[in-house]
Structure 1
Amino acid sequence: MLNITIDKVRHIEDKDANVRDTLVELQHALDKSEQERHFYDALCIDYTAAYLCDLMADTMTVIKKKSFSHCAAEELQSGSIQCYSQWIRHSYNTFVVKESAPGFMEMFDNRNLMAYLDDHESFVYRHRTLPNRAGMEYFEARAVRLYSDDDSYKIILGYRPIDDIVEEERESRQKLEQALKRAEEASHAKSAFWFNMSHDIRTPMNAIIGYTDLLEIYGDDVEKREDYLGKIKSSSEYLLSLLNDVLEMARIESGKYIMDETVTDIREFDRSICDVFENQLEQKGIRSVFL
């Protein structure tokens, strides 16, 4: 009778020990699960949706979803196990704007993604989708392998909205295009300036050469000599003013241009202009009259 009682006590104690061991194991499992949850939350902090995927097993588990995300619209439940390849194809056919996602299905194929992650820490793919409930359209999909020494190829696949980044890049691109356009316009203006300037410089130089030739012919005629010398001088002054304009152009480009207002005799200015062109006009049989 006593032996039976002792056996029962021992049996009860053994069962209690088993229960305690089971509870300890359960607590360890819960602690590990909680640690993994915090780990996933830290990895997925910027994502509107994230999945734990096993590429070898072709499975996918939702570990995060915002209420406005595409996976929420599809009523995928957190913790529910889905087929990875089917979800990728469904996403491509339902949400993804095809023009923005060349090679989407090929890159997210299980085998191709596993091969890529063998040599890289992560895989990043930008694309556009139909607007979700929050109006977000542009996303960066990032696949990160969890354990590089694990043959299961478990990854975190997260989707981060990048609408703000895309808008900033678009604005920066527009600013660069505008700056390029202004630079091209400035280059064309400079080319036109130098073309016109080279033509303008030839005019007083031709006048100087022409009146110098006339001076050699009619040098003994005092009246003509004085006239030609005066015109050579005025043409030289005009040529000098053109060269000064070239220097002013350089100052303008360097931001060192200063406006210099001076009093000018308009009649003398007009006469000097006529002197510059008079010789060329006479060579072409054109008579100029200064009023």
Structure 2
Amino acid sequence: MVGFYEYAYQYAMHYIPKEEQPEFLWWFSKDNLKTLLKNQASLTQHYHSYPNAQNHQYFETKVVKVSEDEKSCHVLMGFRYIDDIIEKERAAQKRLQDALDETKRSNETISTIAKSYSSIYQLDLVEDTYERISGSEIIPKTGCASKRMYEVCEQEVAPEYRNIVHQFVDIKTLASRLDKEDDILAEYRMADGNWHKLRYIVRKRDANGKALQAIATIRIISETKRKELNLFFEAEQAKREAKTKTRFLQNMSHDMRTPLNGISGMLHMADQNPDDLGLQKSTRNKIHQSLNYLISLVNDVLDMNDLESDHFTEEEADFDVTKLLGNINIEAQQLAQDKNIQPELFMKR
């Protein structure tokens, strides 16, 4: 008569994969079964075999102790295939593993996004509570949202921005402000000089569309704000320079019109008195002065253009102050002469 262990051995050699044979034989050994049955009335074990004629390869063994005395121990042993059960378990395990993998990917995504923010909070607008998702560990993990935001505003926000921030973080009005918006934001300066951007994003709404939960993200934008302010100042500087240039051109146009008018008037006077040699000489001298003054104005315009194009070179040049002031007063001299007034130029030393 073949013993049970011998039968189990032969079964294992023919039907159990080689790498699983040691465990199979150990579990079905007499000593192991007797040890296990000392503290329990029945045992259950699953094992894997090569597929049989019905393509079954997963089985369950159940061992129930029937009787036991000093000399013997009798058990009842049953077998059944459990491929359908194993398949369901594997499907459930796969779903669970997929869910765990998805959660892991989501957490990794959240962690990556969180690096762009100094703090992220989840707010319950109904209960007025918050949960810190990321940010300084000094801040409690959970607490009263309105109280926490009030404290941060009073302690850390620059005084000139506190009133604005208090209104923006007001939990009592936040839901209504998010009625028609999925997110709202505010920028403000902190007491330490850094600029922050606070954004509220709706996370959950009720059936009527009222915001129930929101995500609050805080990002430090000091560098962005600095660039923005620099661009603003550069734009203002460009406006000032444009106004200065316009004013310069307007003045220059007026200054150029003056000697041109003087030249025109003196030529007219000379044409009316062709026989007056003294007048002709005086007129030509004044015309030359006006032309020289006009040339100097044109040179100033060219110098201004060179200065803007970085081609300007500083030079030291001697000049006659009396002549310069005389040229400046050409228009006044012409107007005075037309009214029979004799102008005089006084130099105060």
TM-score bracket relative to the smaller structure: 0.5 to 0.7
State the partner residue of 2:189.
128
Question: Higher relative CO (CA 8 A, sep ≥ 6), structure 1 or 2?
Answer: 1
Q: 2:218 aligns with which of 147, 150, 159?
A: 159
When residues 155 and 34 of structure 1 are mapped into structure 2, their CA distance, relative to the original with a 3 A threshold, is farther
Identity of aligned residues (%): 15
Q: 1:169 aligns with which of 209, 216, 228?
A: 228
Q: 2:118 aligns with which of 48, 55, 77?
A: 48
State the partner residue of 2:337.
280
- The answer to whether 1:138 aligns with 2:210 is no
Give the alignment's Cα RMSD to 1 decimal. Answer: 4.6
Q: 1:200 aligns with which of 259, 282, 285?
A: 259
Question: Which deviates more, 48-57 or 100-109?
Answer: 100-109
Question: Which deviates more, 101-110 or 49-58?
Answer: 101-110
Question: Which deviates more, 143-152 or 236-245?
Answer: 236-245
Structure-2 separation of matches of 1:116 and 1:152: 9
Q: Is the 8 A contact 1:57 1:152 kept in 2?
A: no
Q: Give the unaligned 5+ runs of structure 1.
A: 10-19, 67-71, 220-224, 258-268
Q: For 1:99, give the aligned amino acid.
A: E
State the partner residue of 2:178.
117
Q: For 1:196, give the aligned amino acid.
A: D
Structure-1 separation of matches of 2:279 and 2:105: 101
Deviation at 1:64, TM superposition (A): 0.5
Please report the TM-score for the alignment, with normalisation by the length of structure 2.
0.53
Structure-1 separation of matches of 2:139 and 2:130: 11
When residues 189 and 286 of structure 1 are mapped into structure 2, their CA distance, relative to the original with a 3 A threshold, is closer
Q: Going by fraction, where is strand more abundant, 1 or 2?
A: 2
Structure-2 separation of matches of 1:152 and 1:176: 40
Deviation at 1:113, TM superposition (A): 1.8
- Match runs of 1:210-225 below 5 Å: 210-213=269-272, 215=273, 219=275, 225=276
Larger Rg: 2
Deviation at 1:60, TM superposition (A): 0.4
Q: Is the 8 A contact 1:85 1:109 kept in 2?
A: yes
Deviation at 1:91, TM superposition (A): 1.1
Q: Is the 8 A contact 1:137 1:161 kept in 2?
A: yes
Deviation at 1:76, TM superposition (A): 2.2
Please report the TM-score for the alignment, with normalisation by the length of structure 1.
0.62
When residues 177 and 282 of structure 1 are mapped into structure 2, their CA distance, relative to the original with a 3 A threshold, is closer
Q: Is the 8 A contact 1:53 1:61 kept in 2?
A: yes
Q: Is the 8 A contact 2:124 2:130 kept in 1?
A: yes
Q: Give the unaligned 5+ runs of structure 2.
A: 1-40, 43-61, 63-88, 312-322, 345-349
Structure-2 separation of matches of 1:155 and 1:234: 85
State the partner residue of 1:69.
none
State the partner residue of 1:106.
167
Question: Which deviates more, 40-49 or 160-169?
Answer: 40-49
When residues 202 and 88 of structure 1 are mapped into structure 2, their CA distance, relative to the original with a 3 A threshold, is same
